[in-house]
Structure 1
Amino acid sequence: MSARDTNREIALGKLFAPRNLVLPRGITSVCSAHPLVIEAALLSAARDGSALLIEATCNQVNQDGGYTGMTPADFRRFVESCAARVAFPAERIILGGDHLGPNPWRQLPAEEAMAQAEAMIVAYVEAGFEKLHLDTSMGCAGEPAALSDERTAERAARLAKVAEQTAARIGSTPPVYVIGTEVPPPGGATHALDGIEVTRPEAARKTMAVHEAAFRAAGVEPALERVIAIVVQPGVEFGNANVVLYQPEKATGLIQVLDDLPGLLFEAHSTDYQPTAELAGLVDGGFAILKVGPGLTFALREALYGLDAIRGVLGGSNETESLSAVLEARMLAMPHHWSGHYGGSSEAQRLQRHFSYSDRIRYYWPDPAVAGAVDRLFSDLPAAIPETLISQYLARLYPEVLSGRVAPSPRDLCLAAIDSALLPYSQATMRR
């Protein structure tokens, strides 16, 4: 067994404990709060007989509600209610927190922002989140945009101490940790990409070294035993209009670092849109935790727009406004979710609002006007959509419908679209 295989067994064993499941080669981290995405992920995990890792970000879910309006306890109840609807065992769900740190409050002075981050950590641990990615790399008011490795590690150790103390106070199993912040921008890059610089081996080694020193200085040395992964950049990314695929030969030096870091994995962010072979290559190289989010809601948006086109062919009411028109109106009325991410001419921005790989449109699905438009779309369509129209407008799903594996109903087609985006992850991470 290679060092990377041994690391995988040790690290995933800590993440999966005490679940009585065969350890996979790797695990997919589903980063979404959309109920259809969560349901599709649950159904996929049920089919595979695996555990399901679902993660919430600090901006999405925190003690103030985040942009979803959910606290960590609310998010847990939401996920478990989705699981109950499809009879998925709650004990096979692993909840994680992503980029947990001062980012939502970075406009405040550092001490105030860190106090908020500590309160967030308490809320996540009290809600039973088992995997915490500590990310304190961003500067707060009056600080540089990016902090030194040493200051980042010091603040991460401070949050780990809060997590350890909270777990001890409530009598729960303490969480496992992911450290490191060398990742693509949240939601993908904002420009066309020709290539991505892979994390330098010495940078990965330094990340671990400074965190070890900081954890010891903070008196949380036992937490080091539960650090299971380091976030690094393996050379994968997506921009608004293109995807940079994984090239393992460029990550050879980085991969070899794991030979000197027993029991550790790499965590890969922004793996959305990578094909199966590339995802499998990442897992083979020790990037055994694969994060995906926008790629799943991108697939959902494709399905909903296809269904909207089918409604038009079937003679939907002239009074029914198209789904894309409703979304365009809401995105223009509330531009803060996309305006800093999309550039170019007004026409270029319009195309990006609807069709960008970064999928900033995902922030608008919970909006009451948009949610109502989706409900009307489903009610306007027949329970069984003609196969020929599925072939025309949802061609990727047509073979599944023709074979009888997917019902031709609007909701089932949306779930199947999301599942098609999840399938490469299942194929890459499950034991072969």
Structure 2
Amino acid sequence: MSSHLLELATARRNGTPLGITSVCSAHPNVIRAALRRASTTRQHVLIEATCNQVNHLGGYTGMTPADFVNLVNTIAVEEKLEPSLIIFGGDHLGPNPWRKEKPETALAKARDMVKAYVTAGFSKIHLDTSMGCSGEPAALDDQTIANRAADLCEVAEAASKAAGLPPPVYVLGTEVPVPGGADHVLDSVEPTSPDAAKATIAIHRDIFAAAGLEAAFERVIAFVVQPGVEFGSQNVMQYDRSKARALSLVLNDHPGLVFEAHSTDYQTQQALSDLVSDGFPILKVGPGLTFAYREALYALDMIASDLIPSYGTRPLAAAMERLMLDHPTDWQGHYHGDTQSVRLQRHYSYSDRIRYYWNRPEATSAVQALLSALDGQVIPEPLLHQFFGEHTKAGSTAEETLLASVEGVLAIYDRAVHPQQS
């Protein structure tokens, strides 16, 4: 399982780079699409939960790490995927959910969360202690970040030993992009400077050694850096390998490491392939998958409006608008502009803040009403083609269409991370 991740640096050194897609989503249909695809390709699938989505206190999904593992394993059984192909990852594990609290309180909760993740069977642990807590600067210095990461690593090591589990592999780093994308239009994104990357690796190695964590540091597979990829609400910065060349060369002095690329959503297949070849083989994607899911849902909403007079005019979109206006916390402050611009972003933003609402009862009810309306309906192929274009599959059910839309994105990643099979 996590041993597969240890092969990434070896493959790069041998001149046969390969990567892995990190599916960062707690949406059951996104998880199902990823597991269904893995069941077909027979490749490892990396499913990651973030600290805000899933933690020992429930997170915004209401799931603990053990709950999340049970959800994924249940879907895996339904999709006939053997457990040995699933790798569980914990993303941004640190004080982020409690950063408005005092450091000692936030870090105590972070320790409990890391213990819960490791005990539940998460074998890839991204320790992110880069953010300041109450009374601290927003961005901390490398020394503080590394000390806090070592503290959490000690918890993870002890938890795996107590649970009788293999020790986890780790991802570290201080230059961590904003989870879920930027909240403004992007003009440019500069890659991490090589000197900054070297300094980050060195200071973590020294502090882990001082804490007696040399063995754990040997299982650090990657550092998070900024290769120059990001997406905002309304635009995407595509990877430019020429700008990241000097950063990529840092890995030549660290043969056991690769870099992890966050916010790779909406990159082209060529850009993703270049990232893998250049030493950024762990490609994290989340909003891009739920964006594809929302696109398909809204397309089916319009199809049902045209096909079934009694269905009404786009009731799913109307229900989501009401829901987001009634509960604005998860999008307010992230979308900017006049009233019309913000309304459009609520539904169509690349940041996809609408993803926070799909598990609410009002949303699940509206989705079920859509699927029930289309159940047994024969959708004329030209009508399907209007909304799904070349991806039209005559005879597909609404549920199959939704999963296929997510799988279509994952297929792009598969071709990028397994270039020898393309």
Q: TM-score range by the shorter chain?
A: over 0.9
Residue type matched to 1:412 in 2? E
Residue in 2 that maps onto 1:412: 400
Of 118, 137, 161, 2:154 maps to 161
Residue in 2 that maps onto 1:125: 118
Q: Tell me, yes or no, if the aligned pair for 1:182 and 1:233 is still in contact at 8 Å.
A: yes
Structure 1 distance, partners of 2:80, 2:73, is: 10
Cα distance change on mapping 1:382 and 1:167 into 2, 3 Å: closer
Secondary structure of 2:267's counterpart equals coil
Residue in 2 that maps onto 1:8: 8
Of 231, 237, 245, 1:252 maps to 245
Give the CA deviation at 1:199: 0.3
Q: Tell me, yes or no, if the aligned pair for 2:241 and 2:275 is still in contact at 8 Å.
A: yes
Q: Is 2:71 the counterpart of 1:83? A: no
Q: Which moved more, 1:168-177 or 1:151-160?
A: 168-177
Q: Is 2:391 the counterpart of 1:397? A: yes
Cα distance change on mapping 1:361 and 1:395 into 2, 3 Å: same
Residue in 1 that maps onto 2:18: 25
Residue type matched to 2:401 in 1? L
Q: Tell me, yes or no, if the aligned pair for 2:12 and 2:279 is still in contact at 8 Å.
A: no
Q: Tell me, yes or no, if the aligned pair for 1:11 and 1:228 is still in contact at 8 Å.
A: no
Structure 2 distance, partners of 1:307, 1:277, is: 30
Structure 2 distance, partners of 1:362, 1:12, is: 35
**Aligned-CA RMSD value:** 1.7
Structure 2 distance, partners of 1:53, 1:321, is: 35
Task: Give the alignment of 1:11-160 within 5 angstroms.
Answer: 25-160=18-153
Task: Give the alignment of 1:170-209 within 5 angstroms.
Answer: 170-209=163-202
Secondary structure of 1:145's counterpart equals coil
Q: Tell me, yes or no, if the aligned pair for 2:11 and 2:18 is still in contact at 8 Å.
A: no
Structure 1 distance, partners of 2:151, 2:223, is: 18
Give the CA deviation at 1:182: 1.4
Residue type matched to 2:406 in 1? I
Residue type matched to 2:71 in 1? F
Q: Tell me, yes or no, if the aligned pair for 2:142 and 2:174 is still in contact at 8 Å.
A: no
Describe the superposition over 1:200-224 as per-residue Cα deviations: whole angstroms up to 9, x where unpaired. Answer: 0011111111111111122211101
Give the CA deviation at 1:181: 3.3
Of 300, 303, 315, 1:322 maps to 315
Give the CA deviation at 1:245: 0.5
Q: Tell me, yes or no, if the aligned pair for 1:121 and 1:159 is still in contact at 8 Å.
A: yes
Q: Tell me, yes or no, if the aligned pair for 1:175 and 1:226 is still in contact at 8 Å.
A: yes
Q: Tell me, yes or no, if the aligned pair for 2:53 and 2:60 is still in contact at 8 Å.
A: yes
Residue in 2 that maps onto 1:3: none
Structure 2 distance, partners of 1:12, 1:120, is: 33
Secondary structure of 1:394's counterpart equals helix
Runs of 4+ in 1 over 4 A off after TM superposition: 318-321
Secondary structure of 1:295's counterpart equals helix
Aligned-pair identity (%): 55
Give the CA deviation at 1:8: 2.7
Equivalent pairs counted in the alignment come to 412
Give the CA deviation at 1:7: 7.3
Secondary structure of 2:310's counterpart equals coil
Residue in 2 that maps onto 1:292: 285
Q: Tell me, yes or no, if the aligned pair for 1:106 and 1:141 is still in contact at 8 Å.
A: yes
Describe the superposition over 1:380-423 as per-residue Cα deviations: whole angstroms up to 9, x where unpaired. Answer: 0143422111101222421xx15xxxx42100000111011111
Cα distance change on mapping 1:168 and 1:318 into 2, 3 Å: closer
Residue in 2 that maps onto 1:20: none
Residue in 2 that maps onto 1:269: 262
Describe the superposition over 1:79-134 as per-residue Cα deviations: whole angstroms up to 9, x where unpaired. Answer: 00111111111121000000000011111111111110000011001000000000
Residue in 2 that maps onto 1:423: 411
Structure 1 distance, partners of 2:328, 2:23, is: 26
Structure 2 distance, partners of 1:149, 1:7, is: 28
Of 336, 360, 379, 1:385 maps to 379
Q: Which moved more, 1:123-132 or 1:84-93?
A: 84-93
Q: Tell me, yes or no, if the aligned pair for 1:390 and 1:397 is still in contact at 8 Å.
A: no
Describe the superposition over 1:1-40 as per-residue Cα deviations: whole angstroms up to 9, x where unpaired. Answer: xxxxx97344899xxxxxxxxx981000000011111111
Secondary structure of 1:317's counterpart equals helix
Cα distance change on mapping 1:12 and 1:169 into 2, 3 Å: farther
Q: Tell me, yes or no, if the aligned pair for 1:228 and 1:263 is still in contact at 8 Å.
A: yes
Structure 2 distance, partners of 1:96, 1:190, is: 25
Give the CA deviation at 1:319: 6.0
Structure 1 distance, partners of 2:312, 2:300, is: 17
Residue in 2 that maps onto 1:16: none
Give the CA deviation at 1:167: 1.1
Structure 2 distance, partners of 1:410, 1:170, is: 42
Task: Give the alignment of 1:344-383 within 5 angstroms.
Answer: 344-383=337-376
Q: Which moved more, 1:163-172 or 1:223-232?
A: 163-172
TM-score (norm 1): 0.92
Q: Which moved more, 1:40-49 or 1:244-253?
A: 40-49
Q: Which runs of 5+ in 1 are unaligned?
A: 1-5, 14-22
Residue type matched to 2:192 in 1? T
Secondary structure of 1:62's counterpart equals coil
